[in-house]
Amino acid sequence: MVFHKRRWLVRRLFFNHEQIRTMSRVKRRTTHPPYWHVLKNNQRTDEKISSDNLRFVQEVIQDKYKNKSPIKGSDLDIEKTEWDPKTKRSGVIARNIGVQHMWEKDGKKVICTVLHVLDNHVIRYVPPEEYAKSVIGAKMFKNRKPLGCLVVGAEASNPERFTRQYCSLFDEVGLLPKKRLARFIVTPNAALPPCTPLTAGHFVIGQAVDVYGKTIDYGFQGVVKRWGFKGGPASHGTTKFHRRGGTIGTGRDKARVWPGQKMPGHMGSERRFNRGLKIVRINMKYNIIYVKGTVPGPTNSIVQIFDTALPRRKFTEAPPHPTYFPPEDGTLPQEDIWDSSLHVFGSPSISV
Amino acid sequence: MLRRAVLQTFRQGLAQSFFKRYAVSLTETTVTHQPIETSDEAGEKSVPTQKTGDESGNTVVVAPPEFRFIYPEFLPDPAMERRNRLREKLERMDMLQRRSVIEIPEFYTGSIMAVTVADANSPNKFARFVGICIQRGGSGLRAWFILRNVVDKQGVEILYEMYCPLIQKIEVLRLERRLDESLLYLRDALPEYSTFPMDMEPERRLNNSVVPINPLKVKLRPRPWLERWERQNLQGVEDLNLPQRFYDRAEKVAKPWEKYDLMLHYRKTIPAEEQEKIFAEVHSQLQQQELKRKLRRRRGSDNEY
């Protein structure tokens, strides 16, 4: 067994040709959204409107979307549902704003990813029976009990940059249109009414989360970077064989190139989940979550955070269910919450 | 405590304070404006804040321009792909928290420092190392510096992370600068240039407003070296006495156009306006911490009598 130091480059040493053949024809990336999505971004770029009309348009927008007061827990009519270990809660849309180094109480350095929970609001809840009739829902729940779906939006922005059809998605809730939408599969007892805000307090310190993101887009890459091939010698008379793939088949078995043969091609920009990442610090004031480890995607990219699917790291006691609401009596929550294993920066130096 | 200074623009003040603090015999004439007045107390390097007015007439507090030399790790990594203002702000808050616990003094490459870290394998659980700072880098909480010393005829270099909580104390025994920003050539120099006694006492400076530049020219050992020092335009080494072919090859390989490449330098640095904003954010807390430390030191010296 060859020992590969750079694990991220190696996919598998011995791979199952049958499995690769079925997966190699699956389209892994598209540049267009699914056909049932409405057109999102405003296509008209050079519209000649007079400045008066522009001002009028902005007034209309302000009138339509003003008077959005923060929603308290008591305003929404949430049914008081019980949490049980099989509940699936909503997830949250966040932005990966970078990496910060922190230290544990024994002096060991940990790399923590800083995730900024954007202004998430629930747009609508799709009950299980209805969701099972949709294209994706039918595929997902073909042979099992259907679950509901929460549509959550993040990052409110100017309605002028979106099309009318896209803005109409938010008309029911009366929210400013969001730049990013996501669907989270939830059990019916974790359903949330529209317009519910989701914040960093939705998560608990020390819990494990799964983070979904699209990996860094490397573009068209050669075989050495993409698959970890060794290439050829740099000198000693090598003619034009420094970073090439070499042989692509035996010539005897099947007498052709097998599907799934590793070759140069587009690398990155793929859906990936990093599972079981521990939350080590939550900043309630700025809505920031520090997660131990790294998440897929470059800095300043959007990711989705869920409660973990790993069976041994799930919740044993109830988290904020269905989501976190600030306390009614106006007391502010603790601004900066740290995990017990981390060294807090304002505390005295560690002495072993 | 704080004295009013003359209204200056940021860049003027920058140039002026640069020449004032890092006094060296330069061939060009130094800028002769009114100098920034420093207080006379020993050990104090704080400079009065300059208050510039903006159009609306409100005073905007601006940090003294020396801050970018004293606290260079507060400036973020200039690579645009990885920058985010919110994360940098949070990191700076954490840095200030750590600085409230431990004093991270002003130092430069060429200063001789002593660092005490908590070490489980040491007999008294603390390990103290004295050395000359040969390089410093990193930004934010990842800021680091390398100390070099020769112990029992063995050259030893240790990289310390400035904000690591295992560090108990950082002392600057001799605050000075050298002619180069990076002293990695000490690895190829004669060992006496890197040897410093482990029980060295901190040296007190008479003139606190200026950081002296040590114009020492170091003698290198004969070749082979770890790097091609003749290609690096070092000021702090003696004449290398190499055959002419080395210098010819260095000329061929050199990139003399880089000093005219404005975009290259722009991409490697943080713009002055942003630097102003960043230091304006942190300077009040830093000054408060300095004042508290001074009071503690004075109270400590009073208690001795």
> What is the model's pLDDT at position B7?
38
Q: pLDDT band at B202, cuts 50/70/90?
A: very high
pLDDT tens column, B109-153: 999 999 999 999 988 889 999 999 999 999 999 999 999 999 999
Establish if B139 belongs to a structural domain. yes
Whether the pLDDT of residue A200 is over 80: the answer is: yes
> What is the model's pLDDT at position A7?
52
**Chain A residue numbers touching B165 (CB-CB < 8 A):** 103, 107, 343, 345, 349-350
Host domain of residue B128: 106-269
Q: pLDDT band at B60, cuts 50/70/90?
A: confident
Q: Which of A183-192, B49-58, B269-278 has the lowest mean pLDDT?
A: B49-58
Tell me how close the Cα of A175 comes to any Cα of chain B, in angstroms: 25
Counting residues of chain A whose pLDDT is more than 70, the rounded percentage is: 91
- CA dist B146 and B136 (Å) reads 6
- CA dist A333 and A326 (Å) reads 7
Name the residue facing B87 among A98, A349, A351 (closest C-beta): A98
Best-predicted range by mean pLDDT among A1-5, A149-153, A172-176? A149-153
Q: Dihedral of the CA atoms B86, B80, A298, A93 (nearest 10)?
A: 30
Whether the pLDDT of residue B305 is over 70: the answer is: no
pLDDT tens column, A9-66: 445 556 676 777 777 777 788 888 889 899 999 887 777 889 999 899 889 888 888 7
Whether the pLDDT of residue B289 is over 70: the answer is: yes
Whether the pLDDT of residue B210 is over 50: the answer is: yes
Find the helix or strand (DSSP H, E) in which A289 lies. Answer: strand A288-292
Mean pLDDT for A195-215 is 94
pLDDT tens column, A289-335: 999 999 999 999 999 999 999 999 999 988 998 888 888 777 777 88
> What is the model's pLDDT at position A27?
79
Higher pLDDT, A341 or A16: A341
Are the beta carbons of B101 and A346 separated by less than 8 Å?
yes
Burial degree of A141 (CB within 10 A; 0-12, 13-18, 19+)? middle
- CA dist A49 and A58 (Å) reads 12
Whether the pLDDT of residue B188 is over 90: the answer is: yes
User: Residue A30 has what DSSP assignment?
Assistant: -
Using the CB atoms, write b or e for B224-252: b if 16+ within 10 Å. Answer: eeeeebbeeebebbeeeeeeeeeeeebee
Counting residues of chain B whose pLDDT is more than 70, the rounded percentage is: 80
Closest CA to B197 of B174, B220, B179: B174
> What is the model's pLDDT at position B19?
45
Interface of B with A in 152-191 (CB under 8 A): 161, 163-168
Establish if B278 belongs to a structural domain. no
> What is the model's pLDDT at position B45?
41
CA-based torsion, B220, B226, B231, B233: positive or negative = negative
> What is the model's pLDDT at position A326?
83
Mean pLDDT for B103-110 is 94
* CATH number for the domain that contains residue B111: 2.30.30
pLDDT tens column, A64-82: 887 665 555 556 666 678 8
Are the beta carbons of B91 and A350 separated by less than 8 Å?
no
Number of residues that this document lists for chain B: 305
Name the residue facing B166 among A98, A107, A286 (closest C-beta): A107
Number of residues that this document lists for chain A: 352
- CA dist A29 and A20 (Å) reads 17
Best residue in B77, B122, B124, B166 for a mutation probing chain A (most A CBs within 10 Å): B166
> What is the model's pLDDT at position B24?
39
Q: pLDDT band at B52, cuts 50/70/90?
A: very low
Best-predicted range by mean pLDDT among A28-32, A206-210, A262-266, B6-10? A206-210
Q: pLDDT band at A173, cuts 50/70/90?
A: confident
For chain B, what is the domain count?
1
Establish if B61 belongs to a structural domain. no
**What pTM was computed for the model?**
0.83
Are the beta carbons of B101 and A100 separated by less than 8 Å?
no
**Chain A residue numbers touching B166 (CB-CB < 8 A):** 103, 107, 349-350, 352
Q: pLDDT band at B193, cuts 50/70/90?
A: very high
> What is the model's pLDDT at position A112?
97
Q: Which residue of A has its CA nearest to B100?
A: A346
Establish if B163 belongs to a structural domain. yes
Higher pLDDT, B301 or A334: A334
Higher pLDDT, B26 or A230: A230
> What is the model's pLDDT at position A104?
95
Higher pLDDT, B183 or B59: B183
Establish if B20 belongs to a structural domain. no
- CA dist A282 and A200 (Å) reads 7
Establish if B252 belongs to a structural domain. yes
CA atoms within 13 A on the CB side of B238: 12
Q: pLDDT band at B207, cuts 50/70/90?
A: confident
Q: pLDDT band at B20, cuts 50/70/90?
A: very low
Establish if B42 belongs to a structural domain. no
**Chain A residue numbers touching B100 (CB-CB < 8 A):** 346
Q: Which residue of A has its CA nearest to B85?
A: A97
Mean pLDDT of chain A: 88
